[in-house]
Amino acid sequence: MNLQAEKRFTDTSLQINLKFINRYADTWPAGITALSGGVLDLNKLITHTFPLERAVEAMQMCSDVTKGSIKIHVVDDKEVEG
């Protein structure tokens, strides 16, 4: 169910239109079910993994669209080959 509300604020020199749409109603249970049931495998979206010590390098990579990253995972609980 999409809800949309529009409010207008008027001033003598300025008009602001605010529009709100709630697109997430009742989507969390379906998403959680799909992930826990193995329907979706989000691990395929992780293109790079960095140890916490290389977090700055990870952030630089994800900010550069030419590097081809989709999702970069920064971990601090296991060894990662770099």
Q: What CA–CA distances, in Å, run from 38 to 26, 41, 42?
A: 20, 6, 10
pLDDT one-digit tens code per residue, 46-78: 999 999 999 999 999 999 989 989 999 999 876
Q: What CA–CA distances, in Å, run from 21 to 9, 15, 30, 48?
A: 18, 20, 20, 34
pTM higher than 0.85, yes or no?
no
The whole-number pLDDT of residue 15 equals 67
The whole-number pLDDT of residue 7 equals 44
The whole-number pLDDT of residue 49 equals 92
